[in-house]
């Protein structure tokens, strides 16, 4: 999900892809040298906001699964999946 969210944000903020000439498009097309630093900051901010809305429901769901006393195999699968995504 992170890769597709990042690609979406890149397309939204890419000044070369901006076809409209509204204030947002002009804002991101100015300041060539400063633009890349600002773009990275804006991307980080937007991704943080996106995943802020996802984290709470995900945490609640994982806690529900763990409180239901799942089988050892299910616990192992969940542990491996969470470990995998912690590295990616």
Instruction: Tell me the pLDDT tens digit for each residue of 28-56.
Output: 555 555 666 777 787 788 878 878 888 88
Cα diameter, the chain: 57
Is pTM, for the whole model, over 0.85?
no
List the structure tokens of 76: 């192992």
Q: Report the pLDDT value the prediction gives residue 1, as an integer from 0 to 100.
A: 53
Gap between the Cα atoms of 52 and 25, Å rounded:
26
Gap between the Cα atoms of 57 and 54, Å rounded:
6
DSSP designation for 11? H
Most confident of 15-24, 54-63, 68-77: 68-77
């Amino acid at each position: 999900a992170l890769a597709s969210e990042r690609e979406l944000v890149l397309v939204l903020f890419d000044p070369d892809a901006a076809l409209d000439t509204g204030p947002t498009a002009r804002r991101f097309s100015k300041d060539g040298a400063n633009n890349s630093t600002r773009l990275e900051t804006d991307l980080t901010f937007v991704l943080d906001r996106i995943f802020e809305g996802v984290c709470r429901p995900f945490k609640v769901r994982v806690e529900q699964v763990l409180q239901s006393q799942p089988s050892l195999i299910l616990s192992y699968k969940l542990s491996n999946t969470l470990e995998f995504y912690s590295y990616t």
